Amino acid sequence: MKIDMLFIKFILVGILNTLFGYCAFALLIFVGIHYSLAVVISTIAGILFNFKTTGVLVFKNKDNRLIFKFVAVYAIICSLNILLLKIAKIFGLNLYFAGFVTTCIMAVLSFGLNKNWVFKKSYEKN
């Protein structure tokens, strides 16, 4: 499989994961859960769902022991995203535009980290 197709699968699965996370959040709000708890629960559910879909659908890996590396990747991604947005704000850049740019950068970075660190062995077998 070409790297291009693998990245496209990663992006498509990312869209699915985003829909799942938002729907989980919306459902929790709908049933009366406080928004802050809804964020925490939907984030945890989203990470678990994302781990399984990314692992299985993109990298053909079902090894649950990789969850710790996966969570570490997204902790790095989140922290770096916040840092870049803070820098954008300091320079007076439009945060909507900066958010779009950083989202694109973080997608590429998260793909690279997942491919080369989290799911590396399974990817190399394919």
Residue-by-residue pLDDT tens, the chain, 126 positions: 556 789 999 999 999 999 999 999 999 999 999 999 998 999 899 999 999 999 999 999 999 999 999 999 999 998 999 999 999 999 999 999 998 999 889 999 999 999 999 998 765 655
This prediction has a pTM of: 0.83
The DSSP secondary structure of 44-79, one letter per residue, reads HHHHHHHHHHIIIIIT----GGGHHHHHHHHHHHHH
Residues in the chain, overall count: 126
